[in-house]
Amino acid sequence: MLLAKEIGAKRLSARSDSLLVTGQFNREFSTKDPQLAKYLDYVKLLAKAFETFRLDHVPRQDNSIADLLSKLASFTKLGQHRSVIKETLTSPRVDSSSEIRVMSLDRASQSESWINPIRSYTADGTLLVNSNEAQRVKRSSSRYTLVDGHLFRFGFKGQY
């Protein structure tokens, strides 16, 4: 929406595979989560910049182009995007009222920490030799992300 607004688009039609998001925007569902309500207000504010704005639900299996773009964006490294417009958010678009907790390990305990296999796999795909342990690391690494070399775990609501 921001890109369309920047280039001066007057009418915008968007599609999402999230039934929850489209339902909340189109007033088919209520928004109970306070954080989602803030994002909904932000999107509605952006929608006012257009003469018309429409958000339609498209099931993931019916939207192979979006599925391909999401895979392309998630598997390419920074600087390798040539024809895909991608924005990396370093902070939430709306203020978070929820408490943020950070666990930090001192350098001495990091040398033999359970975090190291997850950090290695997330950073460069390196797995342990033990296949059972490698499978465990693969499964659990989906809940983590690396930001400037620091490992963060996704919370229940998707926040770091």
pLDDT at 54: 93
Q: By mean pLDDT, which of 6-10, 92-96, 147-151 is the weakest?
A: 92-96
Domain ranges of the chain: 2-75, 115-153
What's the confidence (pLDDT) of residue 50? 92
Q: Give the pLDDT mean for 85-95.
A: 66
pLDDT tier, 72 (very low <50, low <70, confident <90, very high otherwise)? low
More confident residue, 11 or 102: 11
Cα separation, 54 vs 38, in Å, equals 19
Query: SS3 string of 133-148?
Result: HHHHHHHHHCCEEEEC
Q: Between residues 118 and 108, which one has the greater pLDDT? A: 118
Q: What is the pLDDT of residue 69?
A: 66
Answer yes or no: are the C-beta atoms of 11 and 47 closer than 8 Å: no
pLDDT score, position 115: 78
Residue 127: Cβ within 10 Å count: 15
pLDDT for 108: 44
To the question of domain 2-75 being in CATH 3.30.420.10, the answer is yes
% of the chain with per-residue pLDDT over 70: 68
DSSP 12: E
- pLDDT for the residue numbered 80: 55
Q: What's the pLDDT score for residue 109?
A: 47
